[in-house]
Every structure is written in C-alpha cells, then in structure tokens.
Structure 1
Amino acid sequence: MGEIRALRQSDVATVAALFQRILRKTSAPATPALEAYLTRLFLEGPEQDSEIHSHVHIRDDGSVSGFLGVLPLPLMMGERPVRGALCGTFMVDNHADDPFAGARLMRAFLSGPQDISLTETANDISTTMWRRLRATVLPEHSLEWLRVIRPAGFITEMAANVVGAARLLAPLARPADALIRRGAPEPRWSSLAAAIAEGTLASHDLDDESAAHLFTRFVSHFAVRPSWREENLRRMVEESRHKATFGAMVRRMVTTRDGKPVGMFLYYGDPGRIGRVLQILAAPGRAGEVIDAMLAHANERGMVALRGRAQPALLEAMLGRRFAFVHASSSIVHARDPALIEPFLAGKAFFNGFAGESWSRLIGDRF
C-alpha cells in the first residue's frame, strides 16, 4: 500500500513528467520552465499556508505515482474569515496497479485543516470520489455556456478542432456569415446581429493594477468571497495574461456614459476563433449590460463564438440572450459545517474563474 505525504521540491520533476504524459497527453519531456512554474504555483504560490499543501502518492519503492495540487483560498463569509483550499491538478499514474491511490489522495486533502474544500472542474471519476466522501455538487456553477456569434465560422472552427485542414475553409465562412447576419437586428440562437444596439455600454482596456482593484470591488457584494491579499491578487492577474494556446488576452472594464465602472470581462481568443471567457464581473443589477458589452466587443473583433464557465449571478441575464448551456465537469464543495455550504447552493458565493484554478498558466499556456 502506498503512502501520502506533502509535495517536496525533489518531487517536482516527476510531477512535471506526469503532467505532460497524463494531462497534456504528450510524450515530450517536461521542460525546465514547466518545473519552475509548478514550483512557483504549488510551493511558492499566492496565499501560501504552511498547513495547507499539495500531496503526492508514493509507491512502496519510493517513487511518486500520483499528485493532487492544492491552492489555499482564504475566504470571507460575511465578516467571518474562512479557511479555504482548492483542489486543482489531480492525476494518478497506472491507476490499474493501485486503484485506491486517487481515493487516498482525496481523503488526505479533505482531512486537511481547511474549513471548506473546493474543486472547480472535476471530471466524472473525480466527481464520484467527491460524492462518496459526502461532498456537494453545485449545479449552477457546473455549467459551461456557449454564445455563437458567426455560425458558419463557428462550424468551421469546430471542424478544425477535429481536422486541422478544415480551417482552410474559413475564408468561405465569412461571406456566408455576412449573409446570415444581414438584416437580423434581433439576437438569434444561431448568430449575433451584425450591428449591436446603440445602447450598449462602452468598454476600455485594463492594466494589471486597475484589474486587481476592480476584482476586489466587484466581488465585495457576495456573501462568500475571496479574501485576497493585494500583492497576491496582482500576481494572479499578471499570470492570467499568459495562455498562449487560447490566443490573445482581452481584459476590459465596462463603464456608464459618465465613466462609472459597472463591470469587467476577461477572455482569450483571436479573430475567427472561439474565445474562452475566464471571468465576467458586474455590479448588482448590471450583469446584462456587461454581457452585452462583452458580446459587442467580441463581435467587433471577429470572434465566431464565446464560451465560458457559468456563475449563478450571471445566469438570469444570460437566459434572455440566447446562450446555450451544457454540463462538461463539476464544481464541488465539501465542509464539515453545513452552514458553509449553504451560500454556495444559494448562488451567493463567488466561485470559479479567479476563485479557482483557471487563472493559472497550467490551463492554456505553453512551457
């Protein structure tokens, strides 16, 4: 039977190799840059807590056969500080040789000193483990959304994800989309009108410092929210810039006519491609206007669609704007005190995106 212990610097090279082979599904060796980033994230990461750490599974021969990456996530529940921990990167080598290695890693994580344990995107196998350990799946946080902007371009891009040569058809998709979108002032399920209504609010590019300030501002009304230290949030914001496989980063603030900020959005993608939205934040009652500003900007940039992770605070506004929803993975919460879970089930907790692991370079960047 294997053992579980805290991640050490000497384990990082093996963990990086596992990451390449199991999660990136490549035979290419792990680079020094990947090893350095794993060290930076899991041993020197933001909001480090000496008692909350990542775990490795050790075989009887002393080799590392599994890893569960943990990021401390300090939270505020009203005015009460809550110790949170986020389960992120999770992988086990040769599962058939030791089918209980994953369960041991999960139990070690959940038995930690944190008040509340979270995961942002658990697959079906991981979700089964969490449920057996009496965790709670959050349905409204567990949805992926999609908004098609240019239907012909979207179909071409989806085909290119299977057969890369299909992207050569992209020039033919552009006139088809122009025809489909012409004379369609109302939003459709299949496309976005070529012209967005004049009432859409303006948006402006954000630098790292301003973005960090607005993050703090726009999560302040949630009953449960991250309690980021300023320097750590700035680090997360800066690192979120680097997602080379997703395309160029777009990060913008939405303002009223008199310049008052009412929200912000962050997505990645290049013209003609499907953009990936990392975060949408809005002041209470302004979600629809922020979403419209995001769609208008993506439309102007030539995106064929946007996709992202759902948040309960945005669902009502999305339902009237022709978004499609699907379940691909689960967001889950575990706590010994049931009162800590209630705000998550009620949609009053800020979770996913920056209150998760999606900001990190492990998701969407090259090393």
Structure 2
Amino acid sequence: MFLRILRRETSADGGAALAVYLDDLFCGPYRCDGEIVSRVHVTEDGRLNGFIGVLPQVMELDGEHLRAAICTTWMVDGHQADPFAGARLLKAVLSGPQDLSFSETSNDLSTAMWRRMGAHVLAPYSLEYLRVIRPAAFVTRMAANRFGLLGAFTPLARLADRAAAAGVNGLSWAGFQPRPGKTDALAETEPDEDALAGAIGELVVHHRLHPRWSDEQLARMLAHARVKARHGTRVQRILRTRGGKLAGLFVYYGDRGGIGRAMQVMAAPGMEGLVLERLLADAHARGLAAIRGRTQPALLDAMLDRKFAFLHASSTVFHSSRPQLADAATQGRAFLNGLSGESWTRLIGDRFD
C-alpha cells in the first residue's frame, strides 16, 4: 500500500525490504511508549485499507516532561469508497494519552482534517526553503528531472555558471559565491555520530518546547539517517567559535550538480547567519546547484537576509488541548521538523529496491 499509494511503485520494487523497515521503525527498539501507537483501518469485510504511522517522543517545556505523538505516513486505499477512513484514523490517534501531536508532512487534504479536529497550522514551520547556488545548473537539473535527455546540457550549464560567477555578489539572487568575513572565524569539524548527537543535544535546549531524546534513541535516529540514496551523499559538520563555543551544525545530502537536501540546521542564538553562510559555502565547494530544506522560525530572519526563496509543499500541524503547548508552537518557540519529525527516517529520501 505504501509503495503503490505514496510512491507509485509496485511491490516488486522493494516491498519486502520496506516491510522490514516499517516493522523496525514503528514496532522496533525505537518505540518507547506502548500507549502511543500506530493505527490501521480495517473494512467491515476484514480488509486493511488504511494506516497512520506514529512515533512516540518525550518532549520538554520549562522542565516538564511531556508525551508527544509524531504522525508520519498516513494513507488510505480507496478513499472514494470509504471517505471517512482517514478521519477515523486521525481521530483515533488524537484521542490517545499524549500531551501533544504533530506532523511535518501534512498535505492539503490531511491538513483540512487536522483543522477540523482543532489543530493549528504552523505557517513558519510549513515552508520549504531554497537557495540557488549555481543558477544554470539549477535550471538544467530541474529540467532534467522532468525530461531526462536535458541532462546532456549539464556541461554547458557548468560553463555558464563559471562565466557568471565572476560578477556574482555573495548575496545575489543570481547565485552564491563565498565571501570572506566573520564566517572564517568558525572552526569546522566533521563529527562522528556520537559528537553530532552531543552537539544536537546542546543546541536543542535553546527552544522552549523541545525533544528530550535518550542517548540510545538519538543514536538510532542518526543511524536511520545515514543513507538517503535519492538525495545523495550525507554531509555533517559542527561549527565552533575560536574560543571553542558551539555555534551550530548542519546535516544535508547532495552530490555535484544536484540539489542538496538539508535534514537539520541548528544554530546557537545570534549565530544563525554565520551557520547558514557556512552551509552555503560547503554546498558551493561540493559543486551543488542549490540546497533546500524545511524552515524553522529561528532561522527565518537570517534566511531572508541571505536571499533564500520559500515555497509551500506541505504543512506542519500541531494539536494539543493545553494552551501553553499550543502557544509555544504558534509563537515559533518549539523545535519541530527534521529530527523532531520524520525527515530523519529512510521513508524520506531513501530507496528500498
């Protein structure tokens, strides 16, 4: 059902491998709460025709530990024959014992259902950002994704970008060129997963409402995120000031000539712009045409100053009966999307063939 409905593939394209992964993701060691569970919908004749995947997560607000349900894969087979199956699934999840529920990949139909059940649509979290680095390569890659033969123009695009680069200011809409400045004062390291997890844990507490991962849980999530074959090679960096203070980090996937996909960008307060410029400089050095990812309110101002463009593809939605939790989310003070969502899973960006 997942392959056919969400990826428009057949079970021969990796059904067995996907089944093993879904079992591990939703029923395996990651599961830390036996009461916050995924749901299936079964017809009157006993046929399974719907599923919503749920990942339990402990979160924290002002020192209080909270139970969260992260809603991920949501699908109904034969929606026209049973138009209320999706609503029943969502209602079953939202009726659970958790303090809050959210999803970062809600399409228009799903968002309408969330709204009817009292959820908030979080606009600052619901945008995809895009920063073009090499405009000719970007246009060529976008065209080739639709019409494969156009990929033959890639060498010409590289020549065009090389010729145009001389006149590009670092903050131009017409591309990106690294520029000397304060970013040079940041020391960059390629961390192993233990060091990366430590930096994530240190930075996430700057958000009032944030996940409280165990060491084992975060290590497992980063292991899941090692490979995303559809997105490219994984790149992870930690940035520190000359005095050794943690400034930020980024994790993205991408290959030369392609469009990189950021899984997580984090910055200490006041360091957002420098971290973003180092992200762009790294992507430029690797030959990427552009980089894209999911917005977080803490980074928006710095992105606007650095010529990022924004588009809407899906919504981040948030549900809680507790006003203080809803306030933290609607005011942009929650850590959502990326590692606090489903972008780290292999369901986003990997293959199962």
Relative to the length of structure 2, the TM-score reads 0.96
1:285 to 239, 262, 270: 270
Distance 2:36 2:11 in 1: 31
1:60-79 matches, cutoff 5 A: 60-79=44-63
Kindly provide the amino acid, as one letter, of the partner of residue 24 in structure 1: R
Distance 1:99 1:303 in 2: 43
Distance 1:38 1:196 in 2: 44
Could you tell me which residue of structure 1 aligns to residue 261 of structure 2? 276
Distance 1:45 1:287 in 2: 34
Distance 1:100 1:45 in 2: 32
Kindly provide the amino acid, as one letter, of the partner of residue 232 in structure 1: Q
Distance 2:32 2:350 in 1: 23
| Alpha-carbon distance, 1:138 to partner | 0.4
| Alpha-carbon distance, 1:31 to partner | 3.0
Secondary structure of 2:74's aligned partner: strand
Distance 1:270 1:111 in 2: 43
Alignment check: 8 A CA contact 2:182 2:274 kept: no
Moved more, 50-59 or 197-206: 197-206
Distance 1:352 1:165 in 2: 35
Distance 1:327 1:144 in 2: 6
Which residues of structure 1 form unaligned runs of 5+?
1-17
Distance 2:100 2:168 in 1: 48
Distance 1:177 1:152 in 2: 6
Q: Does 1:262 align with 2:256?
A: no
Q: Deviations over 1:253-306 (max 9, x none)?
A: 112234433110010010110000010011111111111111111011100000
1:257-336 matches, cutoff 5 A: 257-336=242-321
Q: Does 1:21 align with 2:25?
A: no
Q: Deviations over 1:112-142 (max 9, x none)?
A: 1111010111000000000111110001000
| Alpha-carbon distance, 1:162 to partner | 0.5
Distance 1:92 1:73 in 2: 25
| Alpha-carbon distance, 1:186 to partner | 3.8
Could you tell me which residue of structure 2 aligns to residue 3 of structure 1? none
Q: Deviations over 1:165-199 (max 9, x none)?
A: 21111000011001111132342112112x43243
1:1-367 matches, cutoff 5 A: 18-29=1-12, 30-193=14-177, 195-200=178-183, 201-367=186-352
Kindly provide the amino acid, as one letter, of the partner of residue 272 in structure 2: A
Secondary structure of 2:293's aligned partner: strand
Distance 1:26 1:299 in 2: 34
Segments ≥4 residues shifted beyond 4 Å: none
Secondary structure of 1:341's aligned partner: helix
Kindly provide the amino acid, as one letter, of the partner of residue 133 in structure 1: M
Aligned-CA RMSD value: 1.2
Alignment check: 8 A CA contact 2:53 2:71 kept: yes
Aligned length: 349
Report % sequence identity: 49
Alignment check: 8 A CA contact 1:76 1:225 kept: yes
Moved more, 176-185 or 156-165: 176-185
Alignment check: 8 A CA contact 1:45 1:71 kept: no
Alignment check: 8 A CA contact 2:168 2:174 kept: no
Alignment check: 8 A CA contact 2:3 2:15 kept: no
Alignment check: 8 A CA contact 1:187 1:322 kept: yes
Alignment check: 8 A CA contact 1:202 1:293 kept: no
Secondary structure of 1:130's aligned partner: helix
Kindly provide the amino acid, as one letter, of the partner of residue 201 in structure 2: T
Change (3 A) 1:37 1:186: closer
Distance 1:120 1:305 in 2: 22
Alignment check: 8 A CA contact 2:70 2:341 kept: yes
Kindly provide the amino acid, as one letter, of the partner of residue 222 in structure 1: H
